[in-house]
């Protein structure tokens, strides 16, 4: 019987990219979940109703979140390809 413990070794680049992917996936999740829905009836389900005074305020935040989501998704895809090429 082999009593030697199984160990997995990765080079430092794989470790750093793996941690970066985990952090980036959490940030992507937060960015997507905080965006407002494009469906007009979503306020009924979520309990958030858009009033006349709040219509202009969410536009800038949604544009910023949309841009951040696209940028983070692109970086995520590049990191996946780089990690695959390293491994």
Span 16-44, mean pLDDT?
83
- Helices 57-86 and 12-34 sit at what angle, rounded to 10 degrees? 160
pLDDT tens by residue, 44-74: 445 555 555 555 566 888 899 999 999 999 9
Can you read off the two tokens belonging to residue 23? 């952090």
Record the pTM: 0.68
Tokens 């005074």, residue? 53
């Amino acid at each position: 019987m082999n009593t030697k413990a199984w160990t997995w070794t990765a080079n430092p680049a794989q470790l750093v990219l793996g941690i970066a992917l985990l952090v980036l996936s959490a940030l992507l999740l937060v960015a997507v979940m905080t965006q407002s829905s494009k469906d007009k009836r979503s306020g009924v389900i979520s309990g958030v109703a858009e009033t006349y005074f709040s219509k202009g305020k969410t536009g800038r935040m949604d544009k910023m979140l949309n841009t951040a989501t696209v940028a983070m998704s692109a970086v995520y895809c590049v990191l996946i390809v780089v990690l695959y090429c390293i491994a």
